Amino acid sequence: MERVVITGMGVVSPVGSGLDNFWHGITSGESAIGLVEDYDLSEYPTRIAAQVKDFDPSKYLDRREARHMDRFVQFAIAAAEEAWQDAGIDGHFDPDRAGVVVGNGIGGMQTLTEQHQVLLDRGPSRINPFFIPKMIGNIAGGQLAIRYDLRGPNETVVTACASSGNAVGSGLRAIQHGEADVMLVGGTEAALIPLAFAGFCSMRAMSTRNDDPKHASRPFDLERDGFVMGEGAGFLVIESLSHAEKRGADKIYAELAGYGRSSDAYHVVEPHPEGEGAGHAMVRALKDANIKPEEIDYINAHGTSTPKGDIAETLAIKRVFGDHAYRLAVSSTKSSTGHLLGAAGAVELIASVLALKHQTLPPTINLETPDPECDLYYVPNKPEPRRLRAVMSNAFGFGGQNASLIAREI
């Protein structure tokens, strides 16, 4: 079976866009969360989010193209373009053996709500003819295939907050099974609109720390009170090792060595209380990578800052890794970026690969009051140099859908 390597990466995120800015953002000890200013949320229990500021789609698209794309597609184009250029792959691949897999949780929700209002106010004849191709969830994958002439596998994965973790895994399988030599994989999300806030608020899933937004996302802290929505995109170029070597790839970040997926089969929004499904995903990733649990040095946790979720993930890690759970490092970069929903898995895999590159652990910020039920080492508040050889990234979604990915030195 083909070994698969990561040769390009790109990010659009609230803490900074571009790999260098993103890495600085998640190791700076600062949070990108603030009060939402684009909408009047004065009547909402949660009025904070991690927004991508100063995003300019004209850097990647002409004005006409940009008008025909929802913000979630624009983010995908921006992050994918960085990954594509980073890989230096133009002119060095067979289009029929190159594909794309995109993870997205919600799709073009902004376009959907805007056009619904047009329908109510002005009638059906005034609906934008680009309404459907702007908002439909699979359109980012379609746009990327057109942009880079990717004629191989093309799919969109929707598994809530595990979406882009599963998307990366699906691309890995396509190469391992001989369907493709090169895959552009990742995820994108842009759902910071009133309807999404209202929905999550009604579930009481989000932090209400509106008076102190910078400290609202606090995974594994005793005083955590819910997640904070974010937006952004992350994409990776992955290819078979033989293809990367044959074309003389400029760089190889890491081997994408393992992928595991599972279902809790427990509840529509709550994790299994003992993290059984999450544990199964991690075990399957380890088996797929053919490495022992004690070989993992760092886990970028799903770590959403929800009371139940952080405990369940901690229990899962302890069950899978045994005594080694207390020797490895765990952190949640959602403490800085907020929760990027369907884009989280890919963005956090990129954070994990950058940790491997820089031999540095990104911290869990705002970890001030340890929770006795969360008793692992979560890299509190400051980055830490650490010898890293293999890293894991977890992404778990509503509906109990779980993905774990492993990258290692090559």
Which active-site residues does the annotation give?
161
Give the residue carrying structure tokens 């820089």.
Answer: 358
- What whole-number distance in Å separates Cα of residue 368 and Cα of residue 388? 26
Give the residue carrying structure tokens 């053919």.
Answer: 290
Q: Which of 349, 5, 344, 354 is nearest to 189 (CA)?
A: 344
| Alpha helices (H) along 215-270 | 241-247
Strands (E), 52-181: 98-103, 154-157
- What whole-number distance in Å separates Cα of residue 328 and Cα of residue 357? 17
Q: Packing angle between helix 163-176 and helix 344-358, nearest 10 degrees? A: 70
Q: Cβ neighbours of residue 46 under 8 Å, at least 6 residues apart? A: 197, 200, 201, 206, 207, 208, 210, 226, 228
Q: Report which residue type is found at 396.
A: F
Give the residue carrying structure tokens 């690969």.
Answer: 353
Stated as kind and residue range, the H or E segment containing 355 is helix 344-358
What Rg, from alpha-carbon coordinates, does the chain have? 20
> Contact, 183 vs 171, CB < 8 A?
yes
Residue 282: which region, alpha, beta or left (left: phi > 0; alpha: psi -120 to 50)?
alpha
| Alpha helices (H) along 205-306 | 241-247, 276-289
DSSP bridge partners of 35: 48
Q: Report which residue type is found at 267.
A: H
Coil/strand/helix, residue 260: strand
Going from the C-alpha of 324 to that of each of 91, 180, 316, 319, the distances in angstroms are: 45, 36, 13, 10
- What whole-number distance in Å separates Cα of residue 365 and Cα of residue 131? 40
Q: What angle do CA 171, 173, 175 make, to 5 degrees?
A: 75
